[in-house]
Every structure is written in C-alpha cells, then in structure tokens.
Amino acid sequence: MILSIIVPVYNEKNTILEILKKIEMVNINDFGFQKEIIIVDDDSKDGTKELLNNIAQEKNLKVIHHSTNRGKGAAIRTGLDCVTGDFVIIQDADLEYDPQDYKKLLEYILKNRVEVVYGSRRLGNPRRFSHFSYYLGGVFLTFVANLIYRTKITDEATCYKLFKTEIIKSIPLKCEKFEFCPEVTAKIAKKGIKIHEVPINYFPRSEAEGKKIKCKDGLVALWTLIKYKFVD
C-alpha cells in the first residue's frame, strides 16, 4: 500500500529540507506502506522553488509548481490530482507537526477500519500555542463544527488529516486559501462519515518565525463552516 503525503509549500526555504528529512525518517514499512511525497510549491519567492528543483530527483519527490500564488487550499487540490496512494495525509512545510505521528494515525485507521482520522493537538497533550488567540480560535471553530454538523471532534483546524483516497477524492473541494480544513470537515460530515481522532504532538511557531495564518482566516473558516451547511 502507499501513503500519499501532500506538502503545500510557500516561502519555506528555512524549513523544507528539515521537514522532508523528518518525513523520510518515518518508518511505515511495518504497516505495509511505502511513501509517495507530493510537494506543491505555491509560487514561492524566497528560493524554495529552486531548492526543490535541485533535490526532486535525488529524493524521488513529485514537485509541482504553481505559476502564481493561489493559496494553501489550491495547493492541496493540485496535490490531490496527482495522488496515486491508498491513503492521503496533509503535511505542512513548517516544523509544527511531527511526521512520526503518521504511525499513530495509520495504526488507528487500519486497526479500526475507518475512513477518516484527524490528529488532535488537544487530546492528551499540554496546551501549546504560539498565541492564545490562535488557541481560542481553534476551540471556537471546533465548537461550531460540532454544533452545526453534530460531529464529536476536538480539533477541527488540525493539519494532520488522514483519509482513504477514495473518500477525499469524492469530495468536490473548492478551497483556495486556508479554508481547506473547515470545507473538508463540513463535507465529510455531510456525507455521514464519522471523523475519528488520535492525539498528536504540536510545536507551534510564532508569526516572527513565519506563521502565515491570520485572524481574518479564522473569520473565513467560520463562514465556510456555516456556508457548507446549506450549499454543496
């Protein structure tokens, strides 16, 4: 079996090599998996693009470049078009999430024969956050998702979302920016598919260190959750 790892990237020359090294170090052979690493560069301007081109063949990466900056959601959708694996997970290009946690998600999805597993930053972990407003925003969005869609999750906005490929490819995604998380959560829930969770590690970075999401993105996420209750 194959685990497809989609890495949306925008201006991450300081972290991209390290996160790729961490991905490579994860041993998922014991689960019967090989890795397919798909990197979508969203028209980086800091040298990330050139760095990826230099290492793509050596590291057996699929690297796709957007000709203009479109956003994280658009990059994920581009990556999904190239997926050939049995399962798909999203991996941010920063160092906030630990790829070793892939094993927790894979173990759960295989053992329990489910279709969707989220890695929750709020199950069994200290409350780590770069700013308290980010933490409150995530808690609020999770509350709204649970209220509207009758889900029972603890971390709607987590990066680590593991899907059976046939499930995620059946979702008609329209996201362009950071609204991938609320859109996919809403549409998965509307299909009647239960979202399971496992605890993961989280090492948040600050805005000074390159964190890109802003307060306005939280408002867009809220609107996205509400909107997809009523439209497809």
CATH topology of domain 2-230: Spore Coat Polysaccharide Biosynthesis Protein SpsA; Chain A (3.90.550)
* Contact between residue 26 and residue 102 where contact means Cβ atoms under 8 Å apart: yes
Looking at per-residue confidence, does 217 or 41 come out higher?
A: 41
pLDDT digits (tens, 9 = 90+) for 110-148: 999 999 999 999 997 666 665 667 678 789 999 999 999
Measured distance CA(17)–CA(130) in Å, rounded: 23
Residue 154 has pLDDT above 90, yes or no: yes
Helical ranges in the chain per DSSP H: 16-25, 48-55, 72-81, 102-112, 132-149, 165-168, 180-190, 215-230
User: In the chain, how many H helices and how many E strands?
Assistant: 8, 7
Whether 226 shows a pLDDT value over 60: the answer reads yes
**Predicted local confidence at residue 204, as pLDDT:** 80
pTM: 0.93
Task: Break the chain into its structural domains and give their ranges.
Answer: 2-230
Residue linked to tokens 């961490």: 22
Confidence band of 208 (pLDDT split at 50, 70, 90): low
3 state DSSP class of 201: coil
* Cα gap 59→193, rounded to integer Å: 35
Q: Which of 85, 36, 87 is nearest to 64 (CA)?
A: 36
Contacts by residues 187-192 (CB-CB < 8 Å, ≥ 24 positions apart): 187/228, 188/116, 189/145, 189/149, 189/150, 189/151, 190/149, 190/228
